[in-house]
Structure 1
Amino acid sequence: MAEETPLSDNLQRHLQQLGEQFAERLQEELQQLDDLAQQLLRACTPAEQQRCLNSLRNRLHRLAGTAGTFGFVSLGERARQLELQAEQWLATLQQEQQGLQAYIDSLQQLARQQHRPEPAPESQASTLRSTKADREEYCIYILEDEASVGENMRLTLSNFGYHAEHFTHCEALDAAIGRRLPDALIVDVNLQDPQQSGLNYAAALQQRLEAPLPLLVISTCDDFATQLEAVRVGAQGFFTKPVDIPQLENRLERCFAQQQGEPYRVLIIDDDQELAARYSLVLRAANMLVEIIHEPADIFRRMEAFNPEVVLLDVNMPGCTGPELAQIIRFNDDWLRVPIIYLSAETDVARQMSALTMAGDDFVSKPLSDNALVSTVFARAQRARLLSNALARDSLTGLLKHADIKEQVALELERALRSGSRASVVMLDIDHFKKVNDNHGHSAGDSVIRALANLLRQRLRRIDSLGRYGGEEFLAVLPDCQPEQARRIVDEIRERFADLCFMADGAEFSVTLSAGIASTDVNSGPGELLERADRALYAAKHDGRNLVRLAD
């Protein structure tokens, strides 16, 4: 998640409006509590008392969870106490009448008092996460006092599509940061400056920035103490010299993918409209997509249309409890991986555990702060997306698997024929890949495959689809892209891939690729399109490799 920022004026205004709506509704709620207290006072039989106490308990439970969220902290706490007393009375209806009268007095006192929202403690003031704007080219600063090492790193990262700058001294890096803040920082631990190490510099820099930068650390030492110090200054990667730069770039790509991924999708199911609207505003301000359901029966249509990554589910709803609805969701195998977070004012641990064992994944007690809401949802959504990607994508490269990228070919062909545009299908293969494995080992071969995957991601558009078609073979689908345009793009990727340097057992080596391109037309189905791209790839191999060929 990115840096914390105060609530925007617009969001604050919307939240205030919701608070005012709740305050208006509160008078109704309190009047209904007063009416139920009067009914309880007039109840003559245990059955009548039980009905009144059940209604009171349910209303108090809802009030206990909602009031604190809108700033009525004392009211929420008092409602929770009275809810627990209602529970006790339901369990022991044989209590003496005097005790029941005292309870009725407390209810009427709560209902007839004037209540005002109370400011939250400063430590719990609402702050929300914001995300950086999407950039076409990430800026990377490198602090490395060995000029040749730093320049090699800069050139290689530039081939991957980054804007990389190399600095040999902390002063020069400070001046550059004053002009432009980078998207990530790479720091060598072992600087020649006897006054400070790279980690000391990074720690001081992170402290003076409003939000810490993604930090990768390189070092000649790989001992536990050095790595622990790197963790303590916030490093997200640690690499030992000589650095395998494609592996370092892979870690950079992961950092940015986590920051700049598509917004998480959150479905809120709660019959309290003002509370659900508040949660929605807070989560949307944290760059999440949110939809709300007030009627549990809408679950099928909304789950299929919205495909949420997290479900926020109120435990107590009329007609269908949260745990019951959670079990209905779990009936569908397609939704088994969607985390369900229960929201409730329930404080009894045994009941919380009972709800979780039925179908849920987490239990959050109302009221909860805006920060707690965002953090809880973000953590669950992030884990769910990682799991989904792990199952749907190739584990080594993060690209689409064979069947999924083939499906993209069929979809894009259908779209191109419908719109009258042309799309290009590119088949890429790493040249002499078997020699890489034989001469440098399978670990080096994996690094080469990951590097090409990352280079393709960096150089192609967001609308393009990428997949690992086979062991060292890749498939790219480029919508609205003429064959000559595709050839120029892929040829640039070919040149940059050939410029990459890989490390294995202290030795450097480079690798090339070949590619074949086929373009959509009215005469080719998906299978024929793939065969034409494959024949063009074979032609590139036959003509000497390290080439790009267009299909006939």
Structure 2
Amino acid sequence: MSEGKSAADELQQHLQRLSNAFALRLQEELPALGQDAERLLHAAEQHEQLQHLQSLRDQLHKLAGAAGTFGFSSLGQRARELEQEADQWLQTLQQEQQSLQDFIGNLQQLATQQYQAESTQAPATQAAKAPRPSSNARRIYILEDQLAIGENMRLTLNNFGYQAEHFTRIVDLDAALQQQLPDALIVDVNLPDEELTGLAYAASLQQRLDEPLPLLVITTQNDFATHLEAVRVGAMGFFTKPVDIPQLENRLERCFSQQQGEPYRVLIIDDDRELASRFSLILRGANMLVEMLHEPADIFECMRDFNPEVVLLDVSMPDCTGPELAQIIRMNDEWLRVPIIYLSAETDIGRQMNALIKAGDDFVTKPISDNALVAAVFSRAQRARLLSNALSRDSLTGLLKHADIKEQAAVELERAQRSGKPASVAMLDIDFFKKVNDSYGHAAGDNVIRALANLLRQRLRRIDSLGRYGGEEFLVVLPDCPADQAKRILDEIRQRFAELNFIASGSEFSVTLSAGIASTADAPTSSGDFLEKADRALYAAKHGGRNQVR
């Protein structure tokens, strides 16, 4: 509790310093606003009036968005009202001179008054944080009253590298839950010998827990009512019998990656540095990685290096507007998946729609509460990551597809050459895989591929990249890893894979793998050369007797 409280206090102190800095900024900006009002008053030509009005409107627009965020609510409201008046004057300069003088007088009054922040609320970001598990262990409990089905599921999931336990009765599952909570729960809907259905039991269990468990449902009932009941108890997956266990395991892995994934990356583009800093603090407090960009011309380098999952973009910026910058981002196919959220004090629906039509995905009006900001960014980032994974990952293994893992190898080679740090790539191939398919069927072959994919995920680091390069061939990219270290890691994986026992058609069998490694110490001239060296090492391992790493 003390650590959480101190972190909250520190965040609050940061926010207060930003509010204080904004208050100091007002001491310069408000008098400057009054001076601009004087220039408008003495402008003789209509084009001069238009120039001064446009400048005033832009200043009021920024003030309306920023003031409320920093706690100066009445100032923000007044600035918004005057901004709307300025818009009216820009649309038509046919008003009476006395009305214009009244407007100027109001601006001058605003410049001379003293404003205090009505309230600076502490950011209530705790509730918006994504839940994070305390352990990387993946223990799965299965509630299935049919012994053969439950045991087959348990054995297959164990082959995939999980610690699965099967229970045929609720009372036995309850006893296990008292001892240790699993990382996920698989429940059969139909339990004819129990008083409760599987879904009713899951609902009561989730209510008893401090945090709900990831829940997958298996059933013979593929109707809307059962789907709806499953959603209402918090199910994250729905599978009809006979269950496709590799697909079920793929959904399990997706649940875990949502829980244990890297923090979402957010890029804030705003020429108002204090406001961008405040948004950055709020989002970092919600466990997101944030970069700020104040110069639109730096967009290409920033997008390439930071690779954001969400872009928060101010609409009104000097020299380059938000919609213009959004269109520049959308011209690059690599960034089409990145959602763009406009942040602006703009309240005119027509202008909002015009900005979204040009490029953009959402529009958030400033001032915005801390919780609303976190929720808007989190929901967009979560959806973007799920979509990106679905498009770039192999459906059987959940690993990167051929083109994406090759691209990752190129990125790491370029980074290693630039930094001077070592990097390695490894090609892995399952030995005599055709015999597995011929002897036990393609379903068994798929299980072997999934088991190796899962073993690689569990044994390698988060910074490593894994991909399915071909049918039974895998590519592993290991940044900051010399060849000897890569060989030790891959050899451990080779030994562990050979120890797995697979069951198919009543028979038990095991499989081995071979691997070839190349490193930047081999001085590859290109990413293609890098992969070719690893492929030659794999070829040597195959012809050297298989079940080895070269």
TM-score range, shorter chain: 0.7 to 0.9
| Native 8 Å contact 1:427 1:534 kept in 2 | no
Q: Structure 2 length normalisation: TM-score?
A: 0.82
What is the distance in 1 between the residues matched to 2:122 and 2:447?
Answer: 48
Q: Name the structure 1 match of 2:351.
A: 351
| Native 8 Å contact 2:313 2:343 kept in 1 | yes
Quickly say closer, same or farther: Cα 1:148–1:72, change in 2 above 3 A.
Answer: farther
Quickly say closer, same or farther: Cα 1:166–1:450, change in 2 above 3 A.
Answer: closer
What is the distance in 2 between the residues matched to 1:34 and 1:421?
Answer: 59
Superposed counterparts of 1:116-127, under 5 Å: 116-119=116-119, 127=127
Quickly say closer, same or farther: Cα 1:171–1:312, change in 2 above 3 A.
Answer: same
> Cα distance, 1:475 vs. partner?
4.1
Q: Name the structure 1 match of 2:499.
A: 495
What is the distance in 1 between the residues matched to 2:311 and 2:549?
Answer: 48
2:284 paired with 1:281? no
Question: Helix, strand or coil for the counterpart of 1:68?
Answer: helix
Quickly say closer, same or farther: Cα 1:445–1:486, change in 2 above 3 A.
Answer: closer
Q: Name the structure 2 match of 1:548.
A: 547
Question: Helix, strand or coil for the counterpart of 2:186?
Answer: strand
Q: Name the structure 2 match of 1:531.
A: 536
| Native 8 Å contact 2:161 2:451 kept in 1 | no
Q: Name the structure 1 match of 2:378.
A: 378
Q: Structure 2: give runs of 5+ residues left out of the alignment.
A: 525-529
Read off the aligned partner of 1:143 and give its amino acid letter: L
| Native 8 Å contact 2:315 2:323 kept in 1 | yes
What is the distance in 2 between the residues matched to 1:413 and 1:114?
Answer: 55
| Native 8 Å contact 2:71 2:119 kept in 1 | yes
Question: Helix, strand or coil for the counterpart of 2:136?
Answer: coil
2:511 paired with 1:513? yes
The superposition leaves residues 29-54 of structure 1 with CA deviations (integer Å, 9 ceiling, x where unpaired) of 33333333444444455444333322
Q: Name the structure 1 match of 2:187.
A: 187
Q: Name the structure 1 match of 2:58.
A: 58
| Native 8 Å contact 2:413 2:423 kept in 1 | no
> Cα distance, 1:235 vs. partner?
0.6
Question: Helix, strand or coil for the counterpart of 1:513?
Answer: coil
2:226 paired with 1:226? yes
What is the distance in 2 between the residues matched to 1:473 and 1:391?
Answer: 20
What is the distance in 2 between the residues matched to 1:413 and 1:23?
Answer: 46
Question: Helix, strand or coil for the counterpart of 2:217?
Answer: strand
Quickly say closer, same or farther: Cα 1:459–1:523, change in 2 above 3 A.
Answer: closer
| Native 8 Å contact 2:487 2:517 kept in 1 | yes
Q: Name the structure 1 match of 2:527.
A: none
Read off the aligned partner of 1:548 and give its amino acid letter: N
| Native 8 Å contact 1:142 1:187 kept in 2 | yes
The superposition leaves residues 271-308 of structure 1 with CA deviations (integer Å, 9 ceiling, x where unpaired) of 11111001111222222221111222322332333232
The range that moved more, 352-361 or 61-70, is 352-361
> Cα distance, 1:105 vs. partner?
4.1
What is the distance in 1 between the residues matched to 2:181 and 2:118?
Answer: 39
Q: Name the structure 1 match of 2:76.
A: 76
The range that moved more, 225-234 or 321-330, is 321-330
Quickly say closer, same or farther: Cα 1:13–1:130, change in 2 above 3 A.
Answer: farther
> Cα distance, 1:174 vs. partner?
5.0
| Native 8 Å contact 1:127 1:370 kept in 2 | no
From 423, 434, 438, the counterpart of 1:435: 438
What is the distance in 1 between the residues matched to 2:132 and 2:170?
Answer: 25
What is the distance in 2 between the residues matched to 1:487 and 1:403?
Answer: 26
Question: Helix, strand or coil for the counterpart of 1:432?
Answer: helix
Superposed counterparts of 1:332-481, under 5 Å: 332-402=332-402, 405=405, 425-429=427-431, 430-435=433-438, 449-462=449-462, 464-476=464-476, 479=481, 480-481=484-485
What is the distance in 2 between the residues matched to 1:10 and 1:445?
Answer: 54
| Native 8 Å contact 1:431 1:511 kept in 2 | no
Quickly say closer, same or farther: Cα 1:225–1:331, change in 2 above 3 A.
Answer: closer
What is the distance in 1 between the residues matched to 2:541 and 2:184?
Answer: 39
Read off the aligned partner of 1:432 and give its amino acid letter: K
| Native 8 Å contact 1:72 1:117 kept in 2 | yes
What is the distance in 2 between the residues matched to 1:257 and 1:133?
Answer: 11
Q: Number of paired residues?
A: 532
2:266 paired with 1:266? yes
Quickly say closer, same or farther: Cα 1:11–1:243, change in 2 above 3 A.
Answer: same
Superposed counterparts of 1:243-258, under 5 Å: 243-258=243-258
Quickly say closer, same or farther: Cα 1:288–1:548, change in 2 above 3 A.
Answer: same
The range that moved more, 298-307 or 380-389, is 380-389
> Cα distance, 1:65 vs. partner?
1.0
What is the distance in 2 between the residues matched to 1:47 and 1:382?
Answer: 48
Q: Name the structure 1 match of 2:35.
A: 35
Quickly say closer, same or farther: Cα 1:209–1:278, change in 2 above 3 A.
Answer: farther
Q: Percent identity?
A: 60
The range that moved more, 285-294 or 67-76, is 67-76
What is the distance in 2 between the residues matched to 1:86 and 1:279?
Answer: 28
The range that moved more, 141-150 or 87-96, is 141-150
| Native 8 Å contact 1:214 1:236 kept in 2 | yes
Q: Structure 1: give runs of 5+ residues left out of the alignment.
A: 502-506, 541-546
The range that moved more, 397-406 or 75-84, is 397-406
Quickly say closer, same or farther: Cα 1:278–1:94, change in 2 above 3 A.
Answer: same
Read off the aligned partner of 2:303 and give its amino acid letter: M
The range that moved more, 363-372 or 480-489, is 480-489
Q: Name the structure 2 match of 1:543.
A: none
Quickly say closer, same or farther: Cα 1:303–1:39, change in 2 above 3 A.
Answer: same
> Cα distance, 1:316 vs. partner?
0.9
Question: Helix, strand or coil for the counterpart of 2:290?
Answer: strand
Question: Helix, strand or coil for the counterpart of 2:213?
Answer: coil
| Native 8 Å contact 2:128 2:375 kept in 1 | no
Question: Helix, strand or coil for the counterpart of 1:221?
Answer: coil
Question: Helix, strand or coil for the counterpart of 2:30?
Answer: helix
> Cα distance, 1:214 vs. partner?
1.5
> Cα distance, 1:356 vs. partner?
2.2
Q: Name the structure 1 match of 2:239.
A: 239
What is the distance in 2 between the residues matched to 1:123 and 1:517?
Answer: 51
The range that moved more, 290-299 or 418-427, is 418-427
Quickly say closer, same or farther: Cα 1:352–1:483, change in 2 above 3 A.
Answer: closer
Question: Helix, strand or coil for the counterpart of 2:140?
Answer: strand
What is the distance in 2 between the residues matched to 1:34 and 1:327?
Answer: 35
Read off the aligned partner of 1:73 and give its amino acid letter: S
Read off the aligned partner of 1:214 and give its amino acid letter: P
Question: Helix, strand or coil for the counterpart of 1:548?
Answer: coil
The range that moved more, 288-297 or 518-527, is 518-527
| Native 8 Å contact 1:6 1:126 kept in 2 | no
> Cα distance, 1:354 vs. partner?
1.8
Read off the aligned partner of 1:218 and give its amino acid letter: I
What is the distance in 1 between the residues matched to 2:415 and 2:106?
Answer: 69
What is the distance in 1 between the residues matched to 2:444 and 2:226?
Answer: 25
What is the distance in 2 between the residues matched to 1:420 and 1:348?
Answer: 54
| Native 8 Å contact 1:247 1:451 kept in 2 | no
What is the distance in 1 between the residues matched to 2:434 and 2:371?
Answer: 51
The superposition leaves residues 309-343 of structure 1 with CA deviations (integer Å, 9 ceiling, x where unpaired) of 32221111122221222333344444444332221
| Native 8 Å contact 2:139 2:182 kept in 1 | yes
The range that moved more, 251-260 or 49-58, is 49-58
The superposition leaves residues 417-444 of structure 1 with CA deviations (integer Å, 9 ceiling, x where unpaired) of x8899986432253435437xx86x777
Quickly say closer, same or farther: Cα 1:412–1:352, change in 2 above 3 A.
Answer: closer
